[in-house]
Amino acid sequence: MPVNLTPPDPASLLPVAGVLLGIASAGIKKPGRRDITLIELAAGSRVAGVFTQNRFCAAPVTLCRQHLTQGTIRALVINTGNANAGTGEEGLRRARQTCEVVAGIMGCATEQVLPFSTGVILEPLPVDKILPALPAAYADLAPNHWSEAAHAIMTTDIVAKGASRQAQVSGKTVTVTGIAKGSGMIHPNMATMLGFVATDAAIAASLMPQLVKDVADVSFNCVTVDGDTSTNDSFILIATGQAGNAEIGDAASADYAALKATLSEVAIELAQAMARDGEGATKFITVQIEGGRDHDECKQIAYAIARSPLVKTAFFASDPNLGRILAAIGYAGVSDLDVNTLQVYLGGVLVAEKGGRAASYTEAQGAAVMQETDITVRVVLNRGKVNATVWTCDFSYDYVKINAEYRT
């Protein structure tokens, strides 16, 4: 069950000038399922992306990387039901074919189309079903179809994920709207995390690669459900430049900071929604590391806690099992960590310090925090000034059930 998560009100997902979305049904896995999403971008839009580091990356990821270096992007095409991963040369050919057909309908070049796939791995992409559905998706293009798109890109997500914000940039109102899918860093045979965030702000093309990375680092790169990294993970940032603001050309400017903050808010809401909708989740866990020497060591410790099956099953059991958290901190791989000078908090309660349980701590305090559905674990390292946060969920019977029964 998703933890404190409801689908976005369709009216709350604001149109972004220069972005049109169209949905269609190709019947890839189920007849009638709306499984194709087409996104058309106005001429002059700037697009940048970050992708999975998995060496078994999917064919559409390979193609996205190529097309982003070759041209200005005019369209995105997304299918669910098939990941087009582990499909070799033939997979690349079929992904390119999809782009070609979109380009033909829209009157642009094949390299101006980015393809995305999510679904079963190791199965050939059913272009016989996808290609005929593309004209219907094109005919459906409209500025207010964000909610429909959020639903159409879901796989085993229980709740659709979308968010909008507005901000002032050089005296103009800019809009940011994003949608995402994913409920495990990798799903059972599923390509997991896709995120698309668009803004009508005008920003120099040269700043886009850094901006998408900055936003990903504080949002999608802070989520883990099971520690597995998908073959298809993609996060795309779109800036159509139609808000009328003076083009942002300096990464040190206040405008850049304002836009980045607003983009990050949307991306963080989407990223947290993935952990809240994590497979079998009953609790949403924030792991916050403070006072580290550098970002890497903070992330290492945060992930050690957030990935530990022992910690996650303890949260599922509402058991304030501090030993498991301490052990995870200890094996995180920070070799010169002094465990005698750090503090661990569960919610607002100091639970451990000086290498052991805090003298003031009582089991009743820990048990009370564990009853909550949104819980924060805070580790104060006291060795530097850097912080990092990771979001995750607990580990329940249903995780095993979902993943053991997915194909069988």
Residues labelled catalytic: 192
Region of 104-112, 175-183, 220-228, 258-266 interacting with a copy of itself (CB under 8 A): 220-228
Regarding 352 and contact with a copy of itself (CB under 8 A), the answer is: yes
Q: Which of 69, 71, 119 is nearest to 91 (CA)?
A: 119
Assess contact for 174 and 199: CB atoms under 8 A: yes
Regarding 63 and contact with a copy of itself (CB under 8 A), the answer is: no
Q: Residue 135 to residues 36, 83, 98, 138, 214: CA-CA distances in angstroms?
A: 11, 21, 12, 5, 36
DSSP classification of residue 144? T
Separation of alpha carbons 253 and 404, rounded Å = 50
Separation of alpha carbons 269 and 247, rounded Å = 26
Regarding 298 and contact with a copy of itself (CB under 8 A), the answer is: no
Regarding 371 and contact with a copy of itself (CB under 8 A), the answer is: no
Exactly one of 4, 254, 310, 372 binds a copy of itself (CB under 8 A); that residue is 310
In DSSP notation, 255-298 reads HHHHHHHHHHHHHHHHHHHHHHT-TT-S-EEEEEEEEESSHHHH
Regarding 309 and contact with a copy of itself (CB under 8 A), the answer is: yes
Nearer CB in complex with a copy of itself: 146/399:
399
Regarding 130 and contact with a copy of itself (CB under 8 A), the answer is: no
Regarding 313 and contact with a copy of itself (CB under 8 A), the answer is: yes
Separation of alpha carbons 40 and 34, rounded Å = 18
In DSSP notation, 295-328 reads HHHHHHHHHHHHH-HHHHHHHHTT---HHHHHHH
Give me the count of residues in the chain: 408
3-state secondary structure of 106: helix
Return the bridge partners of 168, or none.
173
Site map (CB under 8 A) of a copy of itself, residues 232-271, x = contact: ----------------------------------------
Regarding 334 and contact with a copy of itself (CB under 8 A), the answer is: yes
In DSSP notation, 196-248 reads EEEE---B-GGGHHHHHHHHHHTTGGGB-SSS---SS-EEEEEE---S-PPPB
Region of 163-171, 196-204, 267-275, 352-360 interacting with a copy of itself (CB under 8 A): 352-360
Regarding 349 and contact with a copy of itself (CB under 8 A), the answer is: no
Exactly one of 9, 30, 32, 53 binds a copy of itself (CB under 8 A); that residue is 53
Regarding 193 and contact with a copy of itself (CB under 8 A), the answer is: no
Regarding 57 and contact with a copy of itself (CB under 8 A), the answer is: yes
Q: Which of 296, 301, 304, 311 is nearest to 393 (CA)?
A: 311
Region of 40-48, 128-136, 239-247, 389-397 interacting with a copy of itself (CB under 8 A): 389-397
Regarding 356 and contact with a copy of itself (CB under 8 A), the answer is: yes
CB of 321 to a copy of itself, least distance (A): 6
Exactly one of 316, 377, 381, 390 binds a copy of itself (CB under 8 A); that residue is 316
Nearer CB in complex with a copy of itself: 97/229:
229
If binding means CB under 8 A, how many residues of this protein chain bind a copy of itself? 68
Regarding 122 and contact with a copy of itself (CB under 8 A), the answer is: yes
Which residues make up the interface to a copy of itself (CB under 8 A)? 52-57, 85-88, 91, 120-122, 184, 186, 188-189, 226-231, 307-310, 313-314, 316-319, 321-324, 326-332, 334-335, 337-340, 352, 354-357, 395-397, 399-401, 403-408
